[in-house]
Structure 1
């Protein structure tokens, strides 16, 4: 079995981890029947994933947070964009959160509109299907 024998730079390692979370969401949504589109560049639009069920399209932002519990505050990083939903992953734990894009500067992960999930397909999709995203 091949082994990686080189050091990965810290910034590169974090980018790889962040992208792996996006890839998990892509896989889970595709397995659920969604069409998933990946923008070549999301700067300015802040859209990591664009999904469609055919007639409808939704913009999703995927974020990682260094949170140890659900009392963690998250910042609004998508002002003046058209993001519909944000998927947060706790980097150092086994949970995440699906949240509608919000207008406040900050919000707690455990806000009533947010849906917590374990980092697996079944739990994520259950939380995702409970989202009330306005189109």
Structure 2
């Protein structure tokens, strides 16, 4: 079995982990029948994924948080953008949250408009389908 023998730098390792969460969302959405588009560069547009059901398109931002419980506050990092929803993954646990983009500066993960999921396809898709995104 091959073994990686080179050391991965700390910043690179974190980027790999963050990107792996985006890849999970891509996989789960594709398995659900969505077309998924990956921007070459999302800097300034704050769109990690663009998804479509055919006639409609939605912008998704994927974030990781170092949260130990659902009382964790998240900051609004997409003001002045067109993001429709944000998918949060708890880095140190096995849960996540699907949330509509909000206008406040901060909001708790356990806000009533947010849908908590376990980090697996079935739970994520259930939470995602409960989203009430206005188009």
TM-score higher than 0.5 here? yes
Residue 39 of structure 1: how far off its partner (Å) = 0.1
Q: CA deviation at 1:110?
A: 0.1
TM-score, normalising length from structure 2? 1.00
Q: What is the CA-CA distance between 1:65 and the residue it aligns to? A: 0.0
Structure 1 counterpart of 2:60 = 60
Paired position in structure 2 for 1:19: 19
Q: What is the Cα-based RMSD across aligned positions, in Å? A: 0.2
Q: C-alpha separation between the residues in 2 aligned to 1:5 and 1:77?
A: 37
1:66-114 residue CA offsets vs partner (Å, 9 max, x unmatched): 0000000000000100000000000000000000000000000000000
Count of aligned residue pairs for this structure pair: 135
What displacement does 1:31 show?
0.0
After TM superposition, which residue ranges in structure 1, 4 or more long, deviate above 6 angstroms? none
- 5+ residue gaps, structure 1: none
